[in-house]
């Protein structure tokens, strides 16, 4: 009898991701605009767009796409840590948008 394969990390993340609603699309647009200035010299902007709503399934904010830990860490993070958080945010937004372009995968 064949053994069922374990779900991949991508499949688990996709299953936990929120639906790509118009509000989430708008948040992605706003956060992306703020993210463009991350590479510039000077202060690294906060990804917060004042839409603070935690998604229980994904465990990150639907406004800025940060986890609770990343939100708590932000004020004391150095520039390198802030860039790492921005990289995670960009990956989450890309994964969310990519997931919207293909049918939902269901875990067996």
Residue 64 has, within 13 A of its CA and on its CB side, a CA count of 20
> Could you state, in order of their start, the residue ranges of all structural domains in the chain?
16-37+51-97
pLDDT at 47: 95
For 52-93, how does the pLDDT look when each residue is reduced to its tens digit (9 = 90+)? 999 888 889 999 999 999 999 999 999 999 999 999 999 999
Say whether pTM exceeds 0.85: no
Of the pLDDT bands very low, low, confident and very high (cuts 50, 70, 90), residue 16 is low
Mean pLDDT of the chain: 79
Closest CA to 44 of 84, 72, 88: 84
Greater model confidence, 100 or 5: 100
């Amino acid at each position: 009898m064949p053994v069922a394969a374990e779900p991949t990390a991508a499949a688990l993340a996709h299953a936990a991701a929120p639906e790509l609603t118009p509000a989430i699309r708008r948040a992605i647009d706003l956060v992306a605009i703020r993210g463009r200035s991350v590479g510039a010299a000077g202060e690294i902007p906060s990804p917060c767009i004042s839409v603070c709503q935690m998604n229980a399934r994904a465990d990150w904010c639907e406004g800025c796409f940060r986890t609770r830990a990343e939100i708590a860490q932000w004020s004391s993070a150095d520039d390198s840590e802030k860039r790492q958080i921005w990289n995670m945010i960009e990956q989450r937004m890309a994964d969310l948008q990519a997931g919207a372009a293909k049918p939902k995968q269901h875990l067996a």
